[in-house]
């Protein structure tokens, strides 16, 4: 004769019901992930590692110049902000070294090439679509989009457009600091405001014969005229441009890599070996030359001010939009 089973949840005796189960039950809210910190909301771990690299390189290079005997004992010229050529402790301590002449002196060209390769050739440009009740990130099929638009060439996606706006903003900051700011660049203006001047206008008689415009010479114009730029605080232009350009390229790349994994049909990386070679080669060379600049050129304060000036531009263009919806509508965020 079959016996009837008690429904689940009914105790076998009258004393078992009041007692709670021995199996601990975690509260519903205990399994929730803790909210992200303010820092991780502002900067992802890869981006934080990128930004920390720059002060680390400056400290490492500066310590090398103090601890390495040949660099420590070599005379240093505050006027030229380098070691005299005849006493240079290393090939990279010479201003005329090929890497300084053909990379650092035209660094913004190389940074723009690296950025253009990433934005134009790489598949790091992604788009948002909605599916299954939530947003997911998918890779743009360049061939399909080209066919659908009835032609070949690059497609101006919203991600590309915002990347162009960001690069234009970074380029504008580079131009204002080093090239032109409604007259002399900010570096030259800062030098004058801190008491510096071209040596040619230090003579009272010579200064009296010049107008205000001629007295406000830039460093480049002063050198062309045969004078020397002396007396004020000179922000390290090398540190500024190397940090600003490579950090901007790095932020563009890392922002997209955080969102998707780049893969091509043959299993290789979507950007291609030559594309990664350009991007990583330019960034890697900038890090090496930043290390050499820290070791052989400029004072601590000049390098530090160059770093801060570059970080100001990176903060405004890449970090501020993460805190301000108005800025995000204009500049966007890499990878979004």
- Give 10-residue mean pLDDT values along the chain (336 residues): 51 47 51 52 87 97 89 77 80 89 95 91 48 42 39 66 93 95 87 75 54 56 68 87 96 76 42 80 96 91 95 95 87 82
Distances in whole angstroms, Cα of residue 170 to Cα of each of 26, 102, 150, 326, 336 = 50, 22, 33, 18, 18
Give the H or E element holding residue 38.
helix 38-42
The pLDDT value recorded for residue 95 is: 87
User: pTM, whole model, 2 decimals?
Assistant: 0.74
Phi and psi angles of residue 99, each rounded to the nearest 5 degrees, phi first: -70, -35
Q: How many CB atoms lie within 10 A of CB 314?
A: 22
Spatial CA neighbour of 313 closest among 223, 242, 211: 242
Strand, helix or coil for residue 161: helix
CA distance linking residue 187 with residue 239, whole number of Å: 12
Report the pLDDT value the prediction gives residue 76, as an integer from 0 to 100.
79
Beta partners for residue 197, in sequence order: 230
- Contact status, residue 112 vs residue 172, Cβ threshold 8 Å: no
The pLDDT score that the predictor gives to residue 336 is: 73
127: which strand partners?
A: 138
Give Cβ neighbours of residue 18 (< 8 Å, ≥ 6 apart). none
Q: Which residues pair with 138 in a beta bridge?
A: 127
* Cα Rg of the chain, angstroms: 29
CA–CA dist 152, 136 (Å, integer):
27
In angstroms, the CA 318 to CA 321 distance is: 6
The residue among 288, 193, 277 whose CA lies nearest residue 246 is 288
Q: What was the pLDDT predicted at 145? A: 37
Q: Residue 104 CA to chain centroid, in angstroms?
A: 16
């Amino acid at each position: 004769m079959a016996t009837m089973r008690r429904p689940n949840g009914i105790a076998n005796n009258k004393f078992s019901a009041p007692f709670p189960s021995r199996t601990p039950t975690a509260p519903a809210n205990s399994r929730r992930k803790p909210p992200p910190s303010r820092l991780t909301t502002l900067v992802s771990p890869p981006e934080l590692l990128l930004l920390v690299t720059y002060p680390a390189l400056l400290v490492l290079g500066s310590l090398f110049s103090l601890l390495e005997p040949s660099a420590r004992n070599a005379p240093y010229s505050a006027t030229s902000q380098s070691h005299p050529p005849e006493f240079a402790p290393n090939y990279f301590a010479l201003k005329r070294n090929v890497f300084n002449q053909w990379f650092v002196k035209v660094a913004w060209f190389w940074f723009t090439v690296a950025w253009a390769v990433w934005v134009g050739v790489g598949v790091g440009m992604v788009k948002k679509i909605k599916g299954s009740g939530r947003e997911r990130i998918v890779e743009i099929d360049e061939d399909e989009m080209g066919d659908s638009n009835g032609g070949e060439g690059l497609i101006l996606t919203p991600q590309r457009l915002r990347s162009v706006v960001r690069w234009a903003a970074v380029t504008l900051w580079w131009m204002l600091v080093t090239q032109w700011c409604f007259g002399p660049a900010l570096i030259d203006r800062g030098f004058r405001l801190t008491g510096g001047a071209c040596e040619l206008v230090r003579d009272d008689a010579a200064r009296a014969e010049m107008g205000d415009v001629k007295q406000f010479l830039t460093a480049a114009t002063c050198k062309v005229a045969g004078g020397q730029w002396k007396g004020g605080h000179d922000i390290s232009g090398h540190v500024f441009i190397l940090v600003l350009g490579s950090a901007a390229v790095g932020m563009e790349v890392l922002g997209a890599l955080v969102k998707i994994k780049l893969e091509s049909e043959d299993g290789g990386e979507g950007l291609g070996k030559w594309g990664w070679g350009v991007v990583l080669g330019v960034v890697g060379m900038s890090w090496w030359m930043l290390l050499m600049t820290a070791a052989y050129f400029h004072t601590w304060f000049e390098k530090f001010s160059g770093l801060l000036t570059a970080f100001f531009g990176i903060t405004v263009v890449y970090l501020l939009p993460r805190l301000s919806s108005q800025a995000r509508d204009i500049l966007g965020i890499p990878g979004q």
